[in-house]
């Protein structure tokens, strides 16, 4: 896949040199028909009103103007310029100025449509320029992601393309359905480097995903530096760890902090997960005292689940857990700390309750809001705790009771939202315990009515987890995430009324060439007529 950009680049340059091809260029600037339509955006905008007389063309003289006095708006402007410069070859200066210019992209704060809230935006395309208005930098950033998709796919090229750059005229008003729109990456089964995580973040941001949940610990590996238990990483994350012993590595505190900053600059909040009281073999094989019998079990590199449990009746368990929660909370500015809690089959129900009764308050003690897999709903957690549904059916009595008590939940049904499920029987990567998940399966469900007794008002949002038992490289991650991640992103962002498979599959097809230009691997689902 890595050669494709080169090939596509060569083909495009060749095509541009052919007589007649340049006829598509619009020298008069009056009759050009943009190849994009105002509604060709993933996730679908709430409201889009095309105006064919108002198309805008980027030019070598276009200025990116940002809200005077706002460093955050300036940064969004610089990020937009960095996206648009390589393919256009235009200078696109960014200036925090009130002055207008004959060709301007304006990123302005305030005086926006009251409906847009904290993350929405209004985008107006007129002949003299594009204006994005929002209440926050996050809203401006979301608007620039839309603008990016309104330009031809070649805008994603990494060097100048000879062509015109037209944005279809009209007005968009857009804002999210759910506050939490997440993706999850499993660094435990195979470690993924900070650069790989950043590459994934770059893609997530384009689909208006605003949370990245990192699954940092599991039976096969411990991937986050903890100063008070230093061997967790050197041994628990060291050589030979990971599935088949082939996924060693861990994030230092500095790398984790750097990732948080990288994500924050793209308006994405990191949600760290420390899975417990099960999925803990990496810790327990590193520190013998964390086992009831004081004997460290061997490291595990297979993909079994449900066999490990911290020792519920040993005090050192809670010293360990509190140290880890404190250190992780201290380096995490975001509101959530995920404590796992899934598949604790080696912990009795009574012990599970006992454990959570001690651990949930620790999360609050260090200033964080606990999230956990849906099993935590069994222990009647505080109303601000966030259970994450990962079941494969449409009923879960514990979750429905939690919703009735006031808990908000995250929806990640494994048979819809798990990006590591195979697309079909021929998919070379992934697992299939929740079934095959084609693009339409990932798209055709409603997070607001999926689980009986859990209505939209109880749904904080959606998340697309990507478990990495079978995934090693960034290409592997991309192949499983695309094109399903955008399906989950649309369920999180777009109004329910706009849900439409035919529309989605057409808009998704337009993403294919963009992924090719960006060297992003993806599955060419037969359900989509790829360009």
Q: Which residues bind ligand ACM (CB under 6 A)?
A: 342-343, 373, 390
Q: What is the Cα 466 distance to its own chain's centre? A: 10
CA angle at 450 for the pair 444 and 451, rounded to the nearest 5°: 160
Nearest approach in angstroms of CB 390 to ligand ACM is: 4
- 485/528 with CB nearer ligand ACM: 485
- 123/460 with CB nearer ligand ACM: 460
Report how far residue 450's alpha carbon sits from residue 395's, in angstroms, rounded to the nearest whole number. 8
Contacts of 41 (CB under 8 A, 6+ apart): 48, 146, 149, 150, 172, 507
Nearest approach in angstroms of CB 453 to ligand ACM is: 21
Report how far residue 266's alpha carbon sits from residue 197's, in angstroms, rounded to the nearest whole number. 13
Report how far residue 333's alpha carbon sits from residue 311's, in angstroms, rounded to the nearest whole number. 30
User: What does the DSSP 8-state code read for residue 266?
Assistant: T
Cβ atoms of residues 284 and 347 within 8 Å? no
**99: its two tokens:** 């002055």
Nearest approach in angstroms of CB 219 to ligand ACM is: 11
Identify each DSSP E strand in 312-442 by its residue range. 336-340, 369-373, 386-389, 409-411
- 174/186 with CB nearer ligand ACM: 186
Nearest approach in angstroms of CB 186 to ligand ACM is: 9
Q: SS in 3 state form for 355-393?
A: HHHHHHHHHHHCCCEEEEEHHHHHHCCCCCCEEEECCCC
Report how far residue 353's alpha carbon sits from residue 274's, in angstroms, rounded to the nearest whole number. 18
User: What does the DSSP 8-state code read for residue 2?
Assistant: T
Instruction: Say how many residues make up the chain.
Output: 531
State yes or no: is 343 an active-site residue. Answer: yes
- 431/495 with CB nearer ligand ACM: 431
- 63/480 with CB nearer ligand ACM: 480
- 26/343 with CB nearer ligand ACM: 343
**77: its two tokens:** 């402007």
Say which of 255, 322, 343, 506 is annotated catalytic: 343
Neighbours of 456 (CB within 10 A): 13
Listing DSSP states for 77-99 in one string gives HHHHHHHHHHHH-----EEE-S-
Report how far residue 450's alpha carbon sits from residue 295's, in angstroms, rounded to the nearest whole number. 44
Nearest approach in angstroms of CB 51 to ligand ACM is: 47
Nearest approach in angstroms of CB 103 to ligand ACM is: 50
Sign of CA dihedral 69, 71, 76, 80: positive
- 156/273 with CB nearer ligand ACM: 273
**20: its two tokens:** 């007649």
Task: List phi, psi (to 5°) of 329.
Answer: -60, -40
Nearest approach in angstroms of CB 343 to ligand ACM is: 5
**327: its two tokens:** 């250190």
Residue nearest to ligand ACM (CB): 342
Nearest approach in angstroms of CB 6 to ligand ACM is: 38
- 76/402 with CB nearer ligand ACM: 402
Catalytic residues: 343
């Amino acid at each position: 896949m890595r050669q494709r950009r080169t090939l596509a680049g060569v083909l495009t340059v060749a095509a541009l040199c052919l007589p007649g091809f340049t006829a598509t260029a619009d020298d008069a600037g009056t009759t050009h028909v943009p190849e994009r339509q105002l509604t060709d955006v993933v996730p679908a905008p709430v409201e889009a009103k095309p105006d064919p007389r108002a198309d805008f063309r980027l030019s070598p003289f276009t200025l990116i103007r940002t809200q005077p006095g706002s460093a955050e708006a300036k940064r969004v402007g610089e990020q937009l310029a960095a996206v648009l410069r390589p393919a256009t070859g235009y200078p696109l200066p960014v200036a925090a100025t009130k002055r207008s210019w004959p060709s301007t992209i304006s990123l302005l704060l305030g005086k926006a449509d009251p409906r847009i809230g904290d993350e929405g935006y209004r985008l107006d395309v007129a002949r003299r320029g594009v204006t994005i208005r929002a209440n926050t930098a996050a809203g401006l950033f979301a608007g620039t992601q839309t603008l990016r998709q309104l330009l031809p796919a070649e805008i994603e090229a990494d060097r100048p393309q000879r062509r015109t750059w037209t944005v279809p005229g009209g007005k968009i008003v857009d804002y999210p359905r759910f506050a939490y729109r997440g993706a999850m990456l499993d660094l435990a089964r195979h470690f993924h480097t900070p650069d790989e995580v950043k590459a994934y973040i770059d893609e997530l941001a384009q689909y208006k995903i605003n949370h990245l949940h990192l699954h940092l610990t599991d039976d096969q590996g411990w991937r986050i530096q903890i100063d008070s238990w230093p061997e967790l990483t050197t041994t628990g994350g060291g050589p030979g760890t990971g599935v088949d012993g082939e996924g060693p590595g861990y994030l230092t505190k500095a790398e984790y902090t750097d990732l948080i900053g990288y994500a924050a600059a793209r308006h994405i909040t990191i949600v760290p997960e420390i899975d417990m009281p099960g999925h803990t073999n990496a810790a327990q094989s590193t520190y013998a005292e964390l086992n009831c019998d004081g004997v460290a079990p061997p490291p595990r590199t297979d993909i079994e689940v449900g066999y490990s449990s911290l020792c519920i009746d040993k005090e050192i368990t809670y010293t360990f857990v509190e140290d880890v929660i404190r250190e992780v909370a201290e380096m995490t500015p975001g509101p959530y700390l995920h404590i796992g809690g899934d598949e604790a089959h080696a912990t009795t129900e009574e012990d599970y309750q006992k454990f959570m009764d001690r651990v949930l308050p620790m999360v609050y003690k260090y200033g964080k809001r606990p999230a956990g897999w849906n099993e935590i709903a069994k222990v009647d957690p505080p109303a601000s705790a966030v259970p994450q549904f990962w079941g494969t059916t449409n009923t879960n009595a514990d979750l429905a009771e939690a919703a009735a008590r006031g808990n908000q939940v995250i929806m990640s049904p494994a048979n819809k939202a798990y990006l590591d499920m195979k697309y079909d029987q021929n998919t070379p990567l992934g697992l299939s315990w929740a079934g095959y998940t084609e693009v339409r399966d990932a798209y055709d469900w409603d997070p607001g009515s999926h689980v009986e007794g859990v209505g939209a008002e109880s749904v904080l949002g959606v998340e697309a987890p990507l478990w990495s038992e079978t995934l090693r490289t960034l290409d592997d991650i991309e192949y499983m995430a695309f094109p399903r991640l955008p399906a989950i992103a649309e369920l999180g962002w777009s109004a329910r009324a706009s849900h439409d498979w035919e529309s989605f599959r057409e808009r998704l097809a337009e993403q294919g060439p963009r992924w090719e230009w960006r060297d992003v691997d993806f599955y060419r689902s037969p359900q989509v007529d790829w360009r």
